[in-house]
Every structure is written in C-alpha cells, then in structure tokens.
Amino acid sequence: MRILGIEGTAWAASAAIYDTRDETIVIESNPYQPDSGGLHPREAAEHMSTALPEVISIILDRAATSGETNTIGIDAVAFSRGPGLGPCLRVVGTAARTLTQALSVPLVGVNHMIAHLEIGRYQSGFETPVCLNASGANAHLLGYHRSQYQVLGETMDTGVGNAIDKFTRHLEWDHPGGPKVEAAATDGDYCDLPYVVKGMDFSFSGIMSAAKDAVDDGAPVEDVCTGLQETIFAMLTEVTERALSLTGTSELVLGGGVGQNDRLREMLSMMCAARGASFHAPEPRFLRDNAGMIAVLGAAMHEAGQTISVENSAVDPNFRPDAVTVKWRDNQTSVTHTPTTLSESPIRGAEATVRRVDDRVIKRRVEKSYRHPKLDRQLRAERTRAEARLTSAARRLGVPTPVIYDVDPMTGTLIFDYVGDADLAAELTESRCRAVGQHLGKIHDAGFVHGDPTTRNIRVDPAQTYMIDFGLGYHTDHIEDHAMDLHVFIQSITGTASDPNPLITAFESGYAETGMSTVQSRLGEIESRGRYQ
C-alpha cells in the first residue's frame, strides 16, 4: 500500500509517499520563510497555494516512475486536518479533496499533533510511550488511554517555539528564532528567569516578559539566551518526568520542530537515563513539520477504516488530539500502568526518592543532572521548604497530612509519618475524590494552593484520604491559582482513570460543599484556554 501525505498546517508545504511494503518514506518540502518578523498567516497561505502544487507534483512524478509499472499507484490521500492556521489548512484541504477525487482513492484526515507522536512510536517500536510535543505553536504531553490520546499536560498560554520567537523578534532577529537562541547560548552564562510549572501544565508568558526586560536592562544577550534555554527546557523535562511517574510508563518519544534543539534532547535523554526509561527522538526531518508523518499515520488510519468523505472533510484549526478516536490502536495497552507502592520501597517519583523505615518515610529530592546546577539547587531547596511549611498548614486546617519530623532544605530531605496504604491512583473511588475536593476547598479558603494535586500525590487507607507533597504549593488568594489546582486534579483523573466522569463529578461536588463557587466558575475559563481548545 502506498499513501500520499500532504502537510501544510503553518509554514511547511510538504508532500510525501509512504510505501508500507518496504517502509520507505520519500518527502518533498518547501518551507515558508518570512522576510521579517514572525509567521504571517496571509503570506503563509499564499506560499502554501504556490508551493503545495509544486511539491505534490514532484512527489507524484517520483511515485509514477518508482513502481513496477508506470502508474501512480496511490491507495489513499492523507492530509493534515489541524490544528494549524486556518488559511493554510484550507489550502491543504482543497488540494487533498481534489487529489482524492482525481485518483478515486479514499481520503484520510490526520491530526497533525498525533502524527508527531505516531512517527516517533513507529520508528522507536515503543508500545506505550508518553510523547512530549514541542513545536512552534504547541507544547503538550500525550498518552494513549481509553482509545484516545489524552492530554496529560499542556501550555496554558503559548507554544514553546512561538514563545522563543517572541523573544527573538524583540531582538529583531530573523525567523525562526530557536536556532539563533541555541547558537547564542553556547557562549552565555546562566541567568535567572521565572520557572512556572503547575502539575504537568506550564506557562511561558512570564519568562518571555522577563527575558525581554533583562535584555532591555543591559544583560548580555548570550546570558539571557542561556537562561531562556535552561529554564524552558528544564520546565518541559520536569513535566515530562512527572507524566512518566503518573502513568508508570518507561517510554518517551519526542515530537515537534523544537525537538531539533540539542540541549532539549540532551535534557530528556539524561532524565530518562536516570529513571531507567527509554527515550527516542526522531531524526530532524521527522521532527519539523513534514508530510512523511502524515502519510505514516494516514496508512494506519486507512487500514483501521478511519477514512472520511469529501463532504465531511472540513479542516479544524483547533483540532485537539484528545478529540480523535484512535481505532488503529484498539485493544492495545494503556499508557497508564499500576503504580508502585511504598511496600516496594525505595521508590523514585518525579522529583524524589521515598524510603519507608518502620512508621517513618524519608523523602529526598534528588539532584537533577539535566538542570543547570544553580537552578537545581534553588528549586530543590524552595520546594522542600514549601512542602514542610504547607503540609503543616494544611494539617492545622483539619486536612489529613503526614506529621513532619525533620526537614533539611540544603539536601532536600524530609522525614515524616507513613500514611495511607496506597496512592489514590491505585484506589480511585467517588468518595475519595469527593474528599479531595473538600480538602482543596479548605486550603484554598485559607489562602494557599497544593500546586500538584495529582492522583499520585494523595494517599488513602480505609479511614482517610491524605494530601501529600505540597512542594509546588504557595500562598495566594488569586482565584486563577486556586482553579488551576482543580484543573490539575481533573487532568490527572482524565488521563489515568477508566471512567473519569463520575470521579470528576464527585470531586467537584466535594469542592462545592466548601462554598468556593467563584473558583469553580473560573475552572471552565481555564479549561477553554488550553492551546487546542
């Protein structure tokens, strides 16, 4: 079977042929290069209108002359249906419909972000990987669960590539900015910039403003570029490790054009090596936008019967990956595995090793070799102090938490009571989720947040539901911060539970009992702000 793939979500006009018989992938691309500034949607669409017919023609000529006979021999046409720039997607959609009718073959509409994941899974041979997609307009973590790719975490404002480009436009550097920041960072010294992660979500708006201000205030550009890379990529690596810990999987694939950055790949590789996990980064031609990945996923979808009619082939600029039913992976293993318990002590979480000694637990935040030493020392000390302080504060409010016996911020070590028989992830019930809602309502009313209330940071036994690991917590009266706590918990339920809806309903009911209705009203706004909504 041979699949013609067409890509054109933003800047790359690309066509490819994937032959399933010998697994060859031939790609022809013509990228858009703006004269100045960033990507201009109208100009990008004009480029797509001119370049796409050219690359398709080249690929079809190759297909006609590379087979056993002088025929085109295309079995289906696959195209990038979204997410992306609407004007560009419409050009691609029109080209795909024209070809599928001219060739009398089926049409397959592909989610561009899932294609980034699937090309990595296809090349690596991994069964159940988490995928970090780091591209210009997007940044998120995906994992296969309940016949869909669930969004485990994502940017709450802008894509990682676009964030870097905003900084380089401030410097009046040509597009794309990522490679220029990478080159400048080789000669710079680390400088402090804001580090913002919330569970497995993250934000780049603050770091971009701070980087621009630092340059305007006279900081060397090379130092700011170093700080920018070290901070942004450490954030992405941290949330990726948290996703591996939450799901229990030990496989990671990287996708997206920013994945071509050597420092990002190095950080992810070091993190996986420390965890004993396997890591795969596709070759650069499959990391940047390309039609090869569209053709590969198109072949799998075609074989699973996921074709569409021309009448139902409208493009979707906001096409979320978790809106796709993944029939080509029916009955395959979920990314979510059974979590370890403290009876298997010591265990390693996303940030720390935890060891049980009789009725005590010794937790030590381990050094992260992938992070810049200064940043690593700062984060481990700050989070150790926050965990000790806020765990005790929650306990005083009546929220079940372990008693803290000792804390050493310099080594990142805490000693506290052993509580619970298992993580909530292993013992999910509606009553326990309702209790979590009640606990969060109490601490929000007292003016602080947990910061990372996932199912792995809650312990349960027949009598109690305990909140643990307040290391990402902080004092705040902002409704937005409180609502993010709710979002993080709901996201962890959605990404791991077999039937999340009753659990989420129970959680929201428990929270509503505390009278924090204004926070719940903000939750919908936060969920609609996700990059793909």
Q: Which residues are catalytic?
A: 452
Q: If you search the block for the tokens 């918990």, which residue do you land on?
A: 489
Q: Which residues 6+ apart lie within 8 Å of 202 measured at CB? A: 139, 153, 155, 156, 196, 235, 236, 239
**Would the annotation count 352 as a binding residue?**
yes
Compute CA distances 412 → 51, 368, 409, 522, whole Å.
55, 12, 5, 34
Give φ, ψ of 210 to 5 degrees. Answer: -65, -35
Give me 252's structure tokens: 């990671």
282 is in an annotated binding site: no
392 annotated to bind ligand:
no
Pairing of strands 76-82, 2-7: parallel
Question: Helices in 357-477 by DSSP H: which ranges?
Answer: 373-396, 430-445
Instruction: Enter the DSSP assignment of 155.
Output: B
Q: Establish whether 347 is an annotated binding residue.
A: yes
Asked whether residue 501 is marked as a ligand-binding residue, the answer is: no
Residue 199 marked in a binding site: no
Stretch (H or E) spanning 315: none
Judge whether 327 is annotated as a binding position: no
Write the DSSP string, 159-227.
-HHHHHHHHHHHTTPPSP-HHHHHHHHTT---------EETTEE--HHHHHHHHHHHHTT--HHHHHHH
350 known member of a binding site: yes
Q: Is 179 labelled a binding residue?
A: no
165 is known to lie in a ligand binding site: yes
Does the annotation flag 59 for ligand binding?
Answer: no
* Residue 135 in marked binding region: yes
| CA triple 228-484-201, angle to 5 deg | 40
Query: What is the rounded distance in angstroms from the CA atom of residue 379 to the CA atom of residue 267?
Result: 16
The answer to whether 45 is a known ligand-binding residue is no
Residue 93 labeled ligand binder: no
Helix or strand (DSSP H, E) at 327: none
| C-alpha dihedral (149, 153, 154, 157), degrees to nearest 10 | 140
Question: Minimal CA–CA distance to 255: which of 95, 109, 413, 136?
Answer: 136
Contact 57, 72 (CB under 8 A): no
* Rounded Cα gap, residues 12 and 4, in angstroms: 16
**Which residues are CB-neighbours of 468 under 8 A, at least 6 positions away?**
391, 401, 402, 419, 457, 458, 459
Helix then strand then coil, % of the chain, to nearest 5: 45, 20, 35
22 annotated to bind ligand: no
* Residue 349 labelled as part of a binding site: yes
- Has 178 been labeled as part of a binding site? yes
The Cα–Cα gap between 178 and 158 comes to 15
Which H or E run contains 398?
none
For 45, left (φ over 0), alpha (ψ -120 to 50), or beta? Answer: alpha
- Establish whether 346 is an annotated binding residue: yes
Can you say which residues are annotated as belonging to the binding site for Fe cation? Answer: 112, 116, 289
Can you say which residues are annotated as belonging to the binding site? Answer: 112, 116, 133-137, 165, 178, 182, 261, 289, 346-354, 363
Can you say which residues are annotated as belonging to the binding site for L-threonylcarbamoyladenylate? Answer: 133-137, 165, 178, 182, 261
Can you say which residues are annotated as belonging to the binding site for ATP? Answer: 346-354, 363
